[in-house]
Amino acid sequence: MPHLEISDLITVTDPLSGARLPVRRSDVVRRLDEAGDRRAARIVAGLPVGPDDVLDPLAVDRLMIAVHTELQRLSEELRTGERLVHLLDPLFETIREIAGRNGRFRLVDIGSGLGYLIRWLASTGALGSNVELIGVDLDATLVAEADRLARAEGLDCRFVHGNAFDLPEIATVYVSTGVLHHFRGPALAEFFEAQADSQALAFCHFDIAATRLAPLGAWMFHRARMRHPLGRHDGVVSARRAHSDETLLSAATVPGIRPLLYEPRGLSNPFSTTLRPIIGIRPYLEDPLRQALGRDSRRLVGAEHLTRGGRQRPGAASRSGAGSGAASGSGTAR
Ligand SMILES: C[S@@+](CC[C@H](N)C(=O)[O-])C[C@H]1O[C@@H](n2cnc3c(N)ncnc32)[C@H](O)[C@@H]1O
């Protein structure tokens, strides 16, 4: 049975025009029933509709903003900003070393939702004043709300309505949080290909690590911290939909990109190791990035570290010299 997120079903956007499309409540309830998800079907059956059975767009918008506001609180609690900067700071240092200290750079957050990450980066100045900060999202309502919040907070960043597969903004580095699991099948590789084909030097996409404990951890966090049943439901489903390491490394093995995972530390708490990135860098950046990361560079692992019988310890293969420098990406199960 497919795992379906309610938010994907109740907000539908025409990928070409970006226009919001009407959604019939009975169609969504039927799809969820067919997927065997009675609880989700009941949540949707309680949403308001007009006389034509089309979900009330204003009510859906209010709900999406409420759920994303709770998601922002969760991100604050999980210190998502700090976790990203832990990697983005050495990455931009590496880029500055190569492109020149006086250059202008741009970070684009794809699927930025309410823009928490971009607004946090703008308010802390964590990446320095020469990194322009932009959020892109398919949902025009979330983009407008992110923009309103940024203006109210007096922040130097902006938000743009756009599609991850037809990116409206060029970037030095693309990032995302909690978005990858929405892209299934060939769309996942297309997502990485679009960025590899652009002028970007790197991407860094954080999503839930597909561990056995992830759905349980997601249930605990969302139960404790989110009030709306839709947010709780989708939070757990997203953990079930998280892509495996093999899937991510395989999909990110695209021409001109060295794909790497950034593994959690050996002793980290498995319940709170929720977000973990797949990184893609231009191959010539790998060695300088490893230098900038110092000891933590052992946590950067490529497809060559995934063995048939299981996983090698992060760092074991890098100590033997495998995978540094060249865009090897060999051994992926494409
Ligand atoms: C789970 S939310 C994550 C939001 C935000 N990154 C966060 O961590 O709070 C996923 C976001 O991806 C956006 N999204 C889904 N498909 C997209 C696409 N094709 N292009 C751009 N944004 C997309 C959704 O509108 C939603 O805001």
pLDDT per residue as tens digits for the range 146-165: 999 999 999 999 999 999 99
Query: Atom 8, ligand 1: which residue's CA is nearest?
Result: 177
Residue nearest to atom 12 of ligand 1 (CA): 111
d(C-alpha 217, C-alpha 211), whole Å: 10
How many Å from the N-terminal Cα to the C-terminal Cα in the chain? 24
Closest atom, ligand 1, to C-alpha of 109: 6
Which stretches in the chain have pLDDT values below 50? Answer: 267, 308-309, 313-334
178 lines ligand 1 (CB under 6 A): yes
- The preferred substitution site among 10, 65, 179 for testing ligand 1, maximizing ligand atoms within 8 Å of CB, is 179
Query: From the CB of residue 320, how many other CB atoms can be counted at a distance below 10 Å?
Result: 9
Is the sign of the CA dihedral 190, 72, 155, 205 positive or negative? Answer: negative
Short-list 96, 109, 28, CA closest to 277: 109
Q: Where are the alpha helices (DSSP H) in the chain?
A: 6-10, 25-34, 38-45, 57-77, 80-99, 116-124, 140-152, 186-196, 214-225, 229-240, 245-251, 286-293, 316-319
C-alpha to C-alpha distance for 84 and 82, rounded to whole angstroms: 5
Q: What is the pLDDT of residue 40?
A: 97
- Report d(CA 200, CA 223) in Å as an integer: 38
Residue 112 CB-density burial (10 A; 0-12 exposed, 13-18 middle, 19+ buried): buried
Residue 268: its H or E element? none
How far, in Å, from the CA of 138 to the mean position of ligand 1?
7
Q: To test the ligand 1 pocket, which listed residue (107, 137, 208) has its Cβ within 8 A of the most ligand atoms? A: 137
Cβ(146) to ligand 1 under 6 A?
Answer: no
Question: Residue 199 carries which DSSP code?
Answer: S
The response to whether residue 188 sits with its C-beta less than 6 Å from ligand 1 reads: no
Ligand 1 center to 175 CA (angstroms): 11
**What pLDDT score was predicted for residue 17?**
86
Q: What pTM was estimated for this model as a whole?
A: 0.90
- How many Å lie between the centroid of ligand 1 and the Cα of residue 217? 21
Phi then psi for 114, rounded to 5 degrees? -80, 5
Atom of ligand 1 nearest to the CA of 112: 6
**Rounded Cα–Cα distance for residues 27 and 122 (Å):** 41
Q: Is 181 in the pocket of ligand 1 (CB under 6 A)?
A: no
User: How much distance in Å is there from the Cα of 180 to the middle of ligand 1?
Assistant: 9
pLDDT at 168: 82
178 CA distance to ligand 1 centroid (A)?
7
Regarding beta strands 202-208 and 173-177, do their DSSP bridges make them parallel or antiparallel, or are they unpaired?
parallel
CA–CA distance, 181 with 186 (Å, rounded to integer): 12
Q: How high is the pLDDT of residue 306?
A: 73
Helix 116-124 to helix 140-152 angle, to the nearest 10 degrees? 20
At which residue do the structure tokens 């769309």 appear?
187
Core vs surface per residue 17-50: b (16+ CB within 10 A) or e: eeebeebebeebbebbeeeebeebbebbeebeee
CB 187 within 8 A of CB 119: no
From 124, 126, 112, select the one nearest 169 (Cα to Cα).
Answer: 112
